[in-house]
Homo-oligomer: A and B are copies of this chain.
């Protein structure tokens, strides 16, 4: 059982403690590339096909060559075999524009242990602050170069927002648009429950489509839940029967505090968490 597993897209296992990227890789010089993070559980990569589809969509938005999904599937198998089935892991698929002056993307897979923060979020839930994202929900449609629906490596602002949250004693962030609509978390999709209806903001509002939320919506019907995409305001979060941040590795983190206010949850503890867990394991 290795502490981290590094595999290049050719299926070769590499030493994770040896340098891999050149100094002139656009992945580092410009955050110019796309990525996915998946949960490894019981030796399987959860919702792999949903993630490969989003990787391809992100690559298309960033005008990177179309990823060869068969290559990625094979390399994922190598990484999973090497990681083993004894414990969970976080599997990153990283795909950059490659070195300056080259036409060959850089592509690798990295499995690392699930962060302690994630275990805590699953177990105890999270406190969240809303922060202004700065743009309108109309921007994605008007300005495709903003790459709003693509999961790029340019996450410096997301990281800064999370540090800001930490500095005010919160665990996570929900972004709000310039008109006051709920968007998403820096690394999660926002989900509320209203009785047996699960609601998330429409991806057309400049939001990254959530793979875990998709897997959840696919399964929810069979479990007697209705699902809906609907523009939400912060007040909708406060009066909901439950609020979660949905993500690939933490799965469902219940939000117990929003902007300092304790939220009352009217959904039985574990209901949504278990459903999300089941959903990503059932998803292909």
Whether B20 and A16, one on each chain, are in contact in the complex, defined by CB atoms closer than 8 angstroms, is no
* Interface status of A2 (Cβ within 8 A of chain B): no
Q: What 0/1 readout, one digit per residue, does chain A (20-34) give for beta carbons within 8 Å of chain B?
A: 111111111111110
Residues of chain A having any CB pair with chain B under 8 Å: 4, 6, 14, 16-33, 35, 61-63, 92, 94, 96, 100, 108, 110, 112, 131-132, 134-136, 139, 142-147, 152-161, 163-164, 178
Q: A145 contacts which of B112, B131, B152 (Cβ < 8 Å)?
A: B131
Q: Quick one: copies of this chain in the complex?
A: 2
Contacts of A164 in B (CB 8 A): 144-145
A131 proximity list for chain B (CB < 8 A):
143, 145
Contact yes or no, A153 B23, CB < 8 A = no
- Check if B20 sits within 8 Å of A112, measured CB to CB: no
Note all chain B residues with C-beta closer than 8 A to A143: 131-132, 134
Option from B17, B22, B62 in Cβ contact (under 8 Å) with A156: B62
Q: State the Cβ distance, A84 to closest chain B Cβ, in Å.
A: 19
Shortest distance between the CB of A254 and any CB in chain B (Å): 24
Instruction: Name the distance in Å between A193's Cβ and chain B's nearest Cβ.
Output: 29
Task: Tell me whether A32 and B159 are in contact (CB under 8 A).
Answer: yes
A21 partner, pick from B25, B139, B154, B155, beta carbons under 8 A: B25
Nearest B residue to A165, CB-CB? B145
A52 to chain B, nearest CB (A): 19
Instruction: Answer whether A30 and B135 are a contact pair too, CB < 8 Å, given A23-B21, A146-B160.
Output: no
Kindly list chain B residues whose C-beta atoms are within 8 Å of the C-beta of A14. 23
Q: Which of A33, A92, A159 is most buried by chain B, counting CB atoms within 10 A of its CB?
A: A159
* A178 and B25 within 8 A (CB): no
B139 engages A146 (CB within 8 Å):
no
Please name the residue on chain B nearest to A113 by beta carbon: B101
Instruction: Decide if A25 touches B24 in the complex (CB within 8 Å).
Output: no
Q: What B residues does A154 contact at CB under 8 A? A: 30-31, 152-157
